[in-house]
A and B are shown apart, each in its own frame.
Chain A
Amino acid sequence: EPEVTQTPSHQVTQMGQEVILRCVPISNHLYFYWYRQILGQKVEFLVSFYNNEISEKSEIFDDQFSVERPDGSNFTLKIRSTKLEDSAMYFCASRGLAKNIQYFGAGTRLSVL
């Protein structure tokens, strides 16, 4: 069964550093999403991406965040200058045209020290 793949599974970084979280969505899916979950809290929507542009973003997704689909298969989330409060699990999801179902990856645990 096809799945969404995220790398790395755990990323440790120093405050102020840039990080890039990578996702390989299910092939032939056209809609892509990032969510995050701070430890012990709800899963929160960050951004949706379709047709090479952001279709919606939340208040969390400020100028420090950006997304890109650099090569037609990967979907990345970049945090320019990480803060302690960016520590969380980050989940990528993708959706196809035929079925309105989002499939999630296993997540990347980001630890900002």
Chain B
Amino acid sequence: DAKTTQPTSMDCAEGRAANLPCNHSTISGNEYVYWYRQIHSQGPQYIIHGLKNNETNEMASLIITEDRKSSTLILPHATLRDTAVYYCIVRVGGGATNKLIFGTGTLLAVQP
């Protein structure tokens, strides 16, 4: 699975958009970009994933560059409850295993 690089930490003002970047320059053509978050010591929570098109759901938007070497997770109106560690994970879809390899992620601190 391709390696990802994320900033260690970011701040965002409550009510503003939070834009979390991720570099995955060695991504392969069949690898998806997944985003999870972990609030304190709770279980990781799925946010969104995509292959090459931009995606949006009720939680966030995922913007993937045309060359697929980087992506940005957008939380449109961050709240204090969005304070968490956000993980960008790249892996092949399908298969019996599909283990997730977590890095250190980005600690997003939403400030009041």
Cα distance, A45 to B93, chains bound together (Å): 17
What per-residue 1/0 map shows which CB atoms of B86-100 lie under 8 Å from chain A? 010000011011111
Query: Is the contact region of chain A dominated by helix, strand, or loop, or is it mixed?
Result: strand
- Nearest residue, chain A, Cβ from B104: A42
B97 contacts A48, CB within 8 Å?
Answer: yes
A89 contacts B97, CB within 8 Å?
Answer: no
Given contacts A42-B104, A101-B49, contact A95 B43 (CB under 8 A): no
Q: How many chain A residues touch B (Cβ–Cβ < 8 Å)?
A: 28
- Nearest residue, chain A, Cβ from B48: A101
Most buried by B among A31, A43, A51, A56: A43
Query: Is the contact region of chain B dominated by helix, strand, or loop, or is it mixed?
Result: loop
Smallest CB–CB gap between B95 and chain A, Å?
A: 8
Cα distance, A93 to B87, chains bound together (Å): 16
Q: How many chain B residues touch A (Cβ–Cβ < 8 Å)?
A: 21
Q: How many A-B residue pairs have CB under 8 A?
A: 59
Contacting B100 at CB < 8 Å: which of A89, A102, A105, A109?
A102
A91 contacts B96, CB within 8 Å?
Answer: no
A102 contacts B46, CB within 8 Å?
Answer: yes
Contacting A107 at CB < 8 Å: which of B43, B98, B100?
B43
Chain B contacts for A100, CB-based, 8 A: 32, 49, 93-94, 98
Chain B contacts for A75, CB-based, 8 A: none
Chain B contacts for A56, CB-based, 8 A: 96-97, 99
B interface residues (Cβ-Cβ under 8 A, vs A): 32, 38, 41-46, 49, 87, 93-94, 96-104
A interface residues (Cβ-Cβ under 8 A, vs B): 4, 31, 33, 35, 37, 42-45, 48, 50-51, 55-56, 58, 89, 91, 93, 95, 100-107, 109
Given A45-B100, A93-B100, A100-B94; 14 other pairs, CB 8 A cutoff: A35-B100, A43-B38, A43-B44, A51-B96, A55-B97, A91-B43, A93-B44, A100-B49, A102-B46, A102-B98, A104-B45, A106-B43, A107-B41, A107-B42
Closest 10 CB pairs of A and B: A104-B43, A43-B102, A55-B96, A45-B99, A56-B97, A50-B96, A100-B93, A48-B97, A104-B44, A91-B43
